[in-house]
Amino acid sequence: MTSPIKLPVVTTTTAASGGEPVPALKPPVDPATLVHRQLLGGDFWRKIPAYRDIDEATFLDHKWQAKHTITRPDKLLEAVQELVAPEFIADVRDGFHRSPMSLRVSPYLLSLIDWSNPVADPLRRQFIPLGSRLRPDHPKLDLDSLHEQADAPVPGLTHRYPDKALFLALDTCPVYCRFCTRSYAVGIDTDQVEKVHLRPTQDRWERAFAYVASRPELEDIVISGGDAYNLRAEHIEAIGNRLLDMPNIRRMRFATKGPAVMPQKILTDDAWFSALVGVVERGRKMHKEVVLHTHFNHPSELTEITQRAMNRLFAAGVFVRNQSVLQRGVNDTPEAMRLLIKRMSYLNVHAYYVYVHDLVKGVEDLRTTVDTAIELEKQVRGLTAGFNTPTFVVDAPGGGGKRDCHSFEHYNRETGISVYRSPNVNAEAHYLYFDPIELLPEAGQKRWADPAEHDVMVHEAIAAARDRRR
């Protein structure tokens, strides 16, 4: 019998022990590079007049957060009127009148906005429209730009990729994002949009389950909406266990904006939390993957309260991935994107996707260019581990699905038209994305100002893409 191998012990000397200092391979760390660990804490919500007397226990109560979530512009303005000018209030009223999304803002989210400069604040930009900042929609915009309804065999179930389906279980969320790609369905009707309603009814769900069970190629289901946060505990269990019981299903993700806008639910809604953990644990025993997908867009959305919520999920064995949307004035700089990625990594949230902003009605001021995404991908690659580095994608308009942003067949930066192929969806089709017109060079803006040029530019782009394939 051979003796176990022992590693040699290497003795070193350091300045502390009187020897020579160990040479540093890198310069001392700049404290600014560790700012991702500095999370907002304390009773920061008390700066809002309406929450001045709210103690921590109350603020952490998910029921209090839900009850005091603001759903009317006048109530929002009433909560912050001591902090903003009358001109800002009028601008917000005009913004909501012209918005496709209804209002829903949690006290937590309202407290994270910098009300000393709300016009420039990245969180205000995402949830509270200003009429003065709105821009005309792109002429090629479609209300359902991703054609989710066209790929729906039954209401609320999109089957586009061969082995994956999107189950829209309901049409409400804990907050409503201005930039929601499902503004055609999420929330109540607005002055601009009459919604396609996807209410959580047993009959609609049964039709979706029957379809999933009938398609042996389906292995992966995204449970979204709306937002899985708004499903009751018994709904989480019913949907999760029904899908786990299907032999063909191997993976599922519960998709929610909730951790970014109301992390209190994870901390104090024990029934919902236990239901999610129960489905995750049962899936693991069946060798099936159940994870949580969330949606942080800016580093200011991650606080000490977020850390507590993420720690609870992590301790319970719930894996969390993140999908961000690239937005102008929110996260379209290398500094903002680097900090977002590092802060999420610090809290065990894995960066998965960054979407180039979909063509959504009423939010042209938030969109940016494919070129911006390509440059940001270069800037963040190598910042941290690959599994914490997001892929920057274009969700191709017309139903092409997610394409790596720099995998285009053709990209004309003057006209802002990029052309993608999606062989696993439709091998022959070309899918076109359009950069915001106001960010194009003058020559491109001039062509888009002439309606007769619109189809000409599209035909030119597709022809160039076909020439590349030859």
Q: What is the pLDDT of residues 357-405, one digit of tens each?
A: 999 888 999 999 999 999 999 999 999 999 999 999 999 888 899 999 9
Alpha-carbon span 263 to 93, nearest angstrom: 28
Q: How many residues does the chain have?
A: 470
Task: Measure the CA–CA gap between 278 and 282, rounded to whole angstroms.
Answer: 6
Where residue 189 falls among pLDDT bands split at 50, 70, 90? Answer: very low
Rounded CA-CA distance 388/390 in Å is 6
Output the pLDDT for position 192.
46
pLDDT of residue 421: 96
User: Residue 235 corresponds to which amino acid?
Assistant: H
Distance (Å, whole) CA 99 – CA 344 = 30
**pLDDT (0 to 100) of residue 195:** 36
Return the closest-CA partner of residue 70 out of 55, 48, 47. 48
Percent of the chain with pLDDT over 90: 72
* 52-71: average pLDDT: 96
Of the ranges 23-32, 230-239, 407-416, which one carries the lowest mean pLDDT score?
A: 23-32
Question: From CA 28, how far away is CA 12, in angstroms rounded?
Answer: 21
Which single residue is written with the structure tokens 């000393």?
Answer: 116
pLDDT tens track for 431-440: 999 999 999 9
HEC secondary structure over 38-88: CCECCCHHHHCHHHCCCCHHHHCCHHHHHHCCECCHHHHHHHHCCCCCHHH
**Which of 42 and 148 is assigned the larger pLDDT?**
42
pLDDT band at 15 (very low <50, low <70, confident <90, very high): low
Residue 419 has pLDDT above 90, yes or no: yes
d(Cα 153, Cα 305) in Å, to the nearest integer?
Answer: 40
Query: Do residues 64 and 45 touch, judged by C-beta distance below 8 A?
Result: no
Residues 37-46 have pLDDT tens digits of 999 999 999 9
Q: Output the pLDDT for position 182.
A: 58
User: Among 273, 308, 291, which Cα is nearest to 59's?
Assistant: 308
Element (H, E) at 239: helix 233-244
Which pLDDT score is estimated for 2?
65
**Strands, E assignment, 327-390:** 350-356
> What pLDDT does residue 20 have?
73
Report the alpha-carbon distance of residue 431 to residue 358 in Å, rounded.
13
CA–CA dist 59, 56 (Å, integer): 5
**149 vs 59, which has greater pLDDT?**
59
In percent, the amount of the chain with pLDDT more than 70 equals: 92
In this predicted structure, the answer to whether residue 225 has a pLDDT above a threshold of 50 is: yes
Find all residues with CB under 8 Å of 267, minimum gap 6, and list them: 60, 62, 305, 308, 309, 312
pLDDT in tens, 198-209: 677 888 999 999
- As a whole number of angstroms, the distance between CA 167 and CA 180 comes to 16
The rounded distance, in Å, linking the Cα atoms of 455 and 443 is 16
Q: What is the pLDDT of residue 193?
A: 45
More confident residue, 218 or 76: 218
